[in-house]
Structures are given as C-alpha cells and as structure tokens.
Amino acid sequence: MEFCYFLTLDSFITDPLTHDFMRKALLMSSLVAAVCGFLSSYLTLKGWALMGDAVSHSVMPGVVVAYALGLPFSLGAFIFGVGSVALIGFIKQKSRVKEDTVIGLVFTGFFALGIVLVSKIKSNIDLHSILFGSPLGISLSDVKQTIFISLLVVILLSIFRKDLMLYCFDPRHAKTVGINVFFLHYLLLTCLSLAAVVGLQSVGIILVVAMLITPGATAYLLTDKFDNMTVISVLSAIISSLIGIYVSFWFDLETGGSIVLAQTFIFLFAFLFAPRYGIFKLKKLFAGYK
C-alpha cells in the first residue's frame, strides 16, 4: 500500500470503491449492521446480551450441517439458534442449575459440536470464514439470502416495534391488556437468530454478539428516548461497519475484527463523553463556559 494514497481523504474513500468486492462488502455489511443495530436496542434493554452470545455461537453446527447437505446455511443456523434457546429453557425449568450456567454450558456445547463436525465432514467449508466472517468474499447466493433475511427482520421489528418495547419494559402489563407475550418472546428470539445468521457473514460467529449488543449500549448512553436510541444504534452500527472495512482495506487487517473494534471505540467515546451519562459529562463542561 502506497502512502501517497492518504494524501487526500477523497482517494482514501473512493479508491476502494473501484473494486467490485469492496462495493459489495460495504453495502452488505451496512445492511447487516443496520439489522443488528435495530435489534440491539431491544436486546440491551431486555438484558439479553448473554442470550445473544448463546444464540450466535449455537448456530455453528447448523451452518456446518446445512453446508454439508447443500441447504441454505441460514436455515440450519436458524434451527440450531432457536433450538439452543428451547434447550436452555428446558434445562433451566427441569433442573436446579442457575440460568447463566445453563446458557454457558448449552452454547459452548453447540459450538464444540460445530467445530467437531467441521473436522469430521471435511468438505470445502472454510472454518476461518465462519469463525471470523468474510465480508469481502461474500457469494451471490449469500447476498440474496442476506438481503431476504435482513428485510424480513426489519419488517417484523417495524410492525411489532411498540409491542416489543412494551414487552421489554413491562411484560406483565402487556399480558394484562391481552397482548400475546408468548408470541413476542419468540418473535424476539427469532429475530435474534436471524440477525446472528446475517451478522456472522460480516464479523463471524465469535464476534457477532458485538454487533447485537454494542450499538444498543452506545445508544443507551446517548439518549432517553426509545426511538432515538434505535436510530443512534443503527447509525453507529453502519458507521462502524464502514470504518472497519475501510481500515481493514488500507491497513490489511482482519475485516470482522476491525468492524467490531470500530464499534468498541464508538462505545468508549460515548462512555467518556456522552452529554448526560458519560464520565466527563460534556454538558456540564460546556455549561461552565456559559
């Protein structure tokens, strides 16, 4: 990489766009980030970070089996994602083991099964791209799947936006006024599994949980309004993806890791400087100069 490229910001941004794979990666990753960011508001408010971690790891064997059978890998991932949650619920109910322990042991079990299956099946599955994502090498059929799933999740979340907010805030009231809480619970889980499936293409199974919780956590520090939180969450997720991909292109870094690091930096920035909830409370600092 020549350093003269950095002389203008313009070429820093436009040069990568001359590559077809980069255009595709930027578009797809932004879409995936938007979907995960949208969902992220709900997961952070519901306190489902660990659940997000569990589901995203549990999809591993589903991906491997689907590849081996020539099925759409999203289908396999979805079945195992929802299955892991059902199993967690079942074990929790039927034993005295605490919930966080059950979540931990179920998802690591599923994840291990996935790794063992990869080593046994020995097909052309690229373990590296599953674990760490491969936004630059996304295939056409994957593009179609990603667009389809992303639209589905966005439509579902948009329709049930307010009900899901109520479900996260006060499920007891939801139930009392005749809203189907059982349905909302599984709707959120379904969206979680689907988002994990599309997210893993960008950043891989190991880091996809970051896509599902970091943007929401960042937004939570910046606003007291739910709608604003959703918007900020989506925007910060998209910006992180763009930054991550550009940085990984110019400095030849792992793309998934770069995207997540960008998210982490944005969170840290909010953590330090958020007007009301940041450590340095910028509002107060500025108030001093009035």
Per CB under 8 A, residues contacting another protein are: 45, 93, 159, 162-163, 165-166, 168-170, 172-179, 220, 223-226, 228-229
Give the nearer residue to another protein in terms of CB position, either 24 or 92: 92
> What's the closest the beta carbon of residue 166 comes to another protein, in angstroms?
6
Give the nearer residue to another protein in terms of CB position, either 32 or 168: 168
Q: How far apart are CA 221 and CA 282, in angstroms?
A: 13
Q: How far apart are CA 95 and CA 88, in angstroms?
A: 11
> What's the closest the beta carbon of residue 158 comes to another protein, in angstroms?
9
> What's the closest the beta carbon of residue 262 comes to another protein, in angstroms?
24
Give the nearer residue to another protein in terms of CB position, either 139 or 228: 228
Which is nearest to 125 in space by CA: 184, 168, 65, 213? 65
Give the DSSP per-residue string, 215-256. HHHHHHHH-S-HHHHHHHHHHHHHHHHHHHHHHHHHHT--HH
> What's the closest the beta carbon of residue 273 comes to another protein, in angstroms?
19
Is residue 24 within 8 A of residue 241, CB to CB? The reply is no
Distances (CA, A) of 276 to 44, 45, 282, 285: 19, 18, 7, 11
> What's the closest the beta carbon of residue 46 comes to another protein, in angstroms?
10
Give the nearer residue to another protein in terms of CB position, either 144 or 173: 173
Give the nearer residue to another protein in terms of CB position, either 9 or 177: 177
Give the nearer residue to another protein in terms of CB position, either 124 or 158: 158
> What's the closest the beta carbon of residue 274 comes to another protein, in angstroms?
13
Output b/e per residue, 77-108; b: 16+ Cβ within 10 A.
bbbbbbbbbebbeebbeeeeeeeeebbeebbe
Q: How far apart are CA 265 and CA 287, in angstroms?
A: 26
